[in-house]
Amino acid sequence: VDLSGEVAIVTGGSRNIGLAIAAGLYRAGARVCIVGRSDRNALDRALETLGGDAASCLGELLHVGDEEAVTPLFERVAATFGPVTILVNGAAERPHVPFSEMTLQSWNDVVETILTGAFLTSRELFRRLPDDRNAAIVNIGGLSAHRPGRDRAHVIAAKSGLVGLTRALAAEGQGRIRANAIVPGAIDSDRRPGQSRPFEMDESLGTCDDVAGTVLAFSNPADVYVTGQTVHVSGGRFMP
């Protein structure tokens, strides 16, 4: 996949799966902006991992659910690299909390990050894409939306909404802007203190690079006919 001339934003790109995606896009020739929310050290390490210079890599900390942060992000990226042609919406919060104890604040935080964030970033891409360019949006889904379990109603609802948003974006962008969703299965990734794993460690796990490889394929500007799809990268854990 040759992404030279492409400009990518990867939200949630400062760690784990998002970082592997950003690195894959960067190695393929795209200029890349990584977005995290608050962890400056993780963002700096991610930029070091990419190994580029300021002419090819950017890092930003912001809340993707904040319209007043997302609009200037696209302005800065456009001013530095040019218009965004690849958008990966990977930012997510996935706390576990029993449904009857779920606060409105917790619900809103998760929905704002996963679903509202993808709406705001995608809308900026749609508004700013020059008429003579194609673009790809890749939304990172969650297996829990397809195989629901307990204590994650907000995540399940938001990730299910992301599948619907993906289809809506594919319809809106037909012929010019592709939108697809990639759903990772159980991926071997670092968890923060207190962050639980929704799967057993003895299950066979995928890697962040497994997900990144699929995102790369869906970002290929030469591949313009696949859109509106949800693809599971889960080693057969879920077969729609």
Ligand X SMILES: NC(=O)c1ccc[n+]([C@@H]2O[C@H](COP(=O)([O-])OP(=O)(O)OC[C@H]3O[C@@H](n4cnc5c(N)ncnc54)[C@H](OP(=O)(O)O)[C@@H]3O)[C@@H](O)[C@H]2O)c1
Residues that bind ligand X (CB under 6 A): 11-12, 14-18, 35-39, 42, 63-65, 90-94, 113, 140, 142-143, 184, 186-187, 189
**Residue 70: CB minimum distance to ligand X, A:** 9
Q: By C-beta, is 47 or 92 nearer to ligand X?
A: 92
DSSP letter (8 states) at residue 56: T
Which residues are bridge partners to 88 per DSSP? 10, 138
How many CA atoms, within 13 angstroms, populate the side-chain half-sphere of residue 155?
A: 21
**Residue 167: CB minimum distance to ligand X, A:** 18
Rounded CA-CA distance 128/22 in Å is 21
**Residue 122: CB minimum distance to ligand X, A:** 14
Cα 49 to its chain centre, rounded Å, is 18
Q: By C-beta, is 78 or 205 nearer to ligand X?
A: 205
H/E stretch holding 47 reads helix 40-50
Q: By C-beta, is 178 or 237 nearer to ligand X?
A: 237
DSSP letter (8 states) at residue 237: S
User: In 121-152, which positions are buried (b, 16+ CB within 10 angstroms) versus exposed (e)?
Assistant: bbbbbbebbeeebbbbbbbbbbbbbbeeeebb
**Residue 151: CB minimum distance to ligand X, A:** 15
Q: By C-beta, is 103 or 196 nearer to ligand X?
A: 196
**Residue 34: CB minimum distance to ligand X, A:** 8
Q: By C-beta, is 59 or 221 nearer to ligand X?
A: 59
State the alpha helices, DSSP H only, in 92-144. Answer: 104-111, 117-128
**Residue 215: CB minimum distance to ligand X, A:** 10
Q: By C-beta, is 162 or 221 nearer to ligand X?
A: 162
